[in-house]
């Protein structure tokens, strides 16, 4: 397993890391026993960064992850959780709610503190509230010692453009869906984030299911043309003796300017397979074929959040 520095935190995290969303049943059935074994398989493979949120499975993912971590030495993993999103349309990033959310997360995880706390999907909350109330609250938590570092997550890249443009102090950002085979638009922001020594966590290398043989779940927001194109290319990869998911993981972890890439799985076999893929180089001819076939949809996306996040 390769390890990379995470911004200016002093942490070195595995290039491939474990996202616990699948433990909450986000992508289908997630038996608890299998989920716990999946976490242990990730740790045994050298993965040392785990990410979760109370939103995933409406606290189920945190609860299962907490059970999986019982008895695991604390120095074996770096853990992040999130706050501010509690349901599909339930967002509250007020100081009082963030305090309550963190306290409840610590109980579910069985911890006294977490390494990282992220505001979850900030594009659904007015930006001025995020800057003037929510992030200062996280800084208070940091001073109190219940978290070590803090940041925010979101889908629109305008979130991170604003962090840079307004010189907002954060340790980390988590971006999902914008560094993958079908969308590499996060690359344009990396130099500015690196200049500020902001650690970058990349998530959704599979495009939330777009870049898999199974295809995206029914709730996926991508337009039909994106979904159909990805499924056509998944079929093409199968004819070449590979899977699109395999190529997607190899492509994401090979980007050295990204500290880590999160994937999610809820059984140990999937974890072990994904780790094997990550440790192999992509078949270069196939990779170039796939990138060419994806070019018509490269960087295409969909709106998310409040209208104010539609542009910088």
Residue 63 in this model has a pLDDT that exceeds 90:
yes
Q: What is the mean pLDDT of the chain?
A: 96
Per the annotation, the verdict on 56 as an active-site residue is yes
- pTM listed for this prediction: 0.96
234: number of Cβ within 10 Å: 21
Would you say residue 16 has pLDDT above 80? Answer: yes
Contact 232, 289 (CB under 8 A): no
Confidence of residue 221 (pLDDT cuts 50, 70, 90): very high
Catalytic residue among 55, 56, 77, 309: 56
Work out the percent of the chain whose per-residue pLDDT is above 70: 100
pLDDT at 284: 95
Please determine, for residue 312, whether its predicted confidence score (pLDDT) is greater than 70: no
Chain segment 27-56, per-residue pLDDT in tens:
889 999 999 999 999 999 999 999 999 999
Q: What is the CATH number of domain 3-309?
A: 3.20.20.100
Spatial CA neighbour of 1 closest among 43, 30, 34? 43
Question: How many CB atoms neighbour CB 240 within 10 A?
Answer: 13
Q: What is the pLDDT of residue 236?
A: 97
Q: Do residues 119 and 84 lie in contact, with contact meaning Cβ atoms separated by under 8 Å?
A: yes
Q: Tell me, what's the pLDDT at 311?
A: 78
Q: Where are the domains of the chain?
A: 3-309
Long-range contacts at 88-94 (CB < 8 A, ≥ 24 apart): 91/121, 91/124, 91/125, 93/119, 93/122, 93/125, 93/129, 93/130, 93/133, 93/134, 94/129, 94/133, 94/134
Q: What is the mean pLDDT of residues 167-173?
A: 97
Model pLDDT for residues 193-213, shown as the tens digit of each residue: 999 999 999 999 999 999 999
Q: What is the DSSP letter of 130?
A: I
Q: Does the structure show a pLDDT above 80 at 108?
A: yes
- Residue 136 host element (H or E): helix 135-144
Q: What is the pLDDT of residue 85?
A: 98
Confidence at 159, pLDDT banded by 50, 70, 90: very high
Geometric angle at alpha carbon 203, from 115 and 147, rounded to 5°: 15
Q: pLDDT tens across 246-270, in order?
A: 999 999 999 999 999 999 999 999 9
Q: What is the reported pLDDT for 178? A: 97
The confidence score (pLDDT) of residue 26 equals: 87
pLDDT at 123 over 70: yes
């Amino acid at each position: 397993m390769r390890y990379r520095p995470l911004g200016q935190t002093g942490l070195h995290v595995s290039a491939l890391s474990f996202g616990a969303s699948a433990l909450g049943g986000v992508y289908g059935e997630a038996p608890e026993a299998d989920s716990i074994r999946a976490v242990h398989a990730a740790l045994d493979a050298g993965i040392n960064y785990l990410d979760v949120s109370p939103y995933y499975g409406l606290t189920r993912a945190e609860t299962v992850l907490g059970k999986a971590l019982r008895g695991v030495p604390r120095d074996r993993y770096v853990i992040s959780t999130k706050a501010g999103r509690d349901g599909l349309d339930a967002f509250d990033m007020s100081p009082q709610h963030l305090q309550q959310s963190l306290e409840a997360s610590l109980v579910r995880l069985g911890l006294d503190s977490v390494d990282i706390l992220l505001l979850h999907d900030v594009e659904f909350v007015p930006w001025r509230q995020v800057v003037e109330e929510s992030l200062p609250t996280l800084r208070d938590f940091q001073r109190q010692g219940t978290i070590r570092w803090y940041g925010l997550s979101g889908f629109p890249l305008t979130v991170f453009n604003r962090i840079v443009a307004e010189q907002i102090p954060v340790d980390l950002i988590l971006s999902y869906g914008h560094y993958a085979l079908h969308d590499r638009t996060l690359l344009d922001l990396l130099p500015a984030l690196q200049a500020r020594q902001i650690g970058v966590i990349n998530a959704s290398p599979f495009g939330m299911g777009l870049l898999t043989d199974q295809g995206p779940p029914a709730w996926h927001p991508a337009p039909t043309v994106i979904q159909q194109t990805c499924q056509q290319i998944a079929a093409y990869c199968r004819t070449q003796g590979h899977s699109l998911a395999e190529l997607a993981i190899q492509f994401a972890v090979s980007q050295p300017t990204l500290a880590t890439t999160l994937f999610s799985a809820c059984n140990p076999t999937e974890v072990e397979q994904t780790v094997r893929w990550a440790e192999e180089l992509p078949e270069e001819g196939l990779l170039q074929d796939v990138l060419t076939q994806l070019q018509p949809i490269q960087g295409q996306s969909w709106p998310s959040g409040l209208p104010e996040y539609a542009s910088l």
